[in-house]
Chain A
Amino acid sequence: MTGADPRKQEPTLAVEGLKTHFFTKAGVVKAVDGVSLHVNPGEILGLVGESGSGKSITGFSILGLIDAPGRIVEGSIRYKGRELTTASDEELRKLRGDRIAMIFQDPMMTLNPVLRIDTQMIETVRVHHRVSKSEALERSRAALAEVGIPSPESRLKNYPHELSGGMRQRVAIAIAFINKPDLIIADEPTTALDVTIQAQILAEAQALCARTGTAMIWITHDLAVVSSLADRIAVMYAGRVVETGRTSEVVSAPRHPYTRGLINSVPSHNARGSRLAQIPGMTPSLMNLPKGCAFRTRCPQAIDVCLETPPIREIAPGREIRCFNPVGAAQPAAAEVAP
Chain B
Amino acid sequence: MSGEPLVSARGLSKRFVKKPDFAGRIAGHLGADVREETVHAVDHVDLEIMKGEVVGLVGESGCGKSTLGRMIAGLLTPTEGEVQFKGKSRDALSSAEAHAARLAIQMIFQDPYASLNPRARVEAIVGEAPLVHGITTRAGMPTYVDDMMRRVGLDPELKRRYPHQFSGGQRSRIGIARALAVNPEFLVCDEAIAALDVSIQAQIINLFMDLRSEFDLTYLFISHDLGVVQHITDRVVIMYLGRVVEAASTETLFDGPNHPYAQALLAEVPRISTEKRTFHPIKGEIPSPLNPPSGCHFHPRCPHAFDRCRNEVPVLKEIAPARYSACHLNDG
Contact = CB atoms under 8 A, between A and B. Distances in A.
A50 B169 CA distance: 12
Interface stretch (B100-108, B132-140, B273-281, B306-314): B273-281
B198 A199 contact: no
B226 A195 contact: yes
Nearest to A225: B270
A276 B269 contact: no
B198 A269 contact: no
B231 A262 contact: no
B271 interface: yes
Interface in B155-195: 167-170
B231 A268 contact: yes
Contact of A266 (B169, B272, B282): B272
A276 B202 contact: yes
A224 interface: yes
Nearest to B200: A282
Nearest to A283: B197
Contacts of A290: none
A194 B199 contact: no
Interface stretch (B31-39, B40-48, B203-211): B203-211
Interface in A263-308: 263, 265-270, 272-273, 275-279, 282-283
B60 interface: yes
Contact of A247 (B270, B274, B285): B274
A1 interface: no
A227 B279 contact: no
Contact of A223 (B198, B202, B281): B198
Interface stretch (A74-82, A177-185, A200-208): A200-208
A195 B251 CA distance: 20
Contacts of B232: 267, 273
B279 A197 contact: no
A180 to B, nearest CB: 22
Given A50-B197, A282-B169, A268 B279 contact: no
Given A267-B228, A267-B230, A282-B167, A247 B199 contact: no
Nearest to A298: B199
A34 interface: no
Given A51-B197, A221-B198, A197 B269 contact: no
Nearest to A52: B197
A267 B227 contact: yes
Given A194-B286, A247-B276, A272-B231, A224 B270 contact: yes
Contact of B278 (A197, A206, A282): A206
Nearest to A263: B272
Contact of A272 (B202, B230, B271, B281): B230
Contact of B272 (A199, A223, A231): A223
Interface of A, helix, strand, loop or mixed by DSSP:
helix
Interface string A116-131: 0000000000000000
Given A196-B60, A276-B206, A227 B272 contact: yes
Given A194-B61, A228-B273, A276-B231, A199 B279 contact: yes
Contact of A167 (B268, B274, B285): B285
B77 interface: no
B89 interface: no
A182 to B, nearest CB: 21
B224 interface: yes
Nearest to A223: B272
Contact of A224 (B169, B202, B272, B275): B272
B290 to A, nearest CB: 12
A195 B274 contact: no
A194 B241 CA distance: 13
Interface string A163-194: 01111000000000000000000000000001
Contact of A276 (B61, B197, B205): B205
Interface in B267-306: 268-282, 285-286
A248 interface: yes
A23 B130 CA distance: 45
Contacts of A164: 285-286
Contacts of A282: 167, 169-170, 200
Interface of B: 60-61, 167-170, 197-203, 205-206, 209, 224, 226-228, 230-232, 250-251, 264-265, 268-282, 285-286
Q: Which 5 residue pairs across A and B have the least CB separation, nearest first? A: A267-B231, A265-B202, A203-B279, A199-B268, A224-B270
Given A228-B279, A267-B231, A277-B202, 9 more contacts: A167-B285, A197-B60, A199-B268, A202-B281, A224-B227, A265-B201, A267-B232, A273-B209, A278-B206
14 contacts: A50-B200, A51-B197, A164-B285, A195-B224, A221-B198, A224-B271, A227-B271, A228-B275, A248-B275, A263-B272, A265-B198, A267-B202, A268-B272, A275-B206
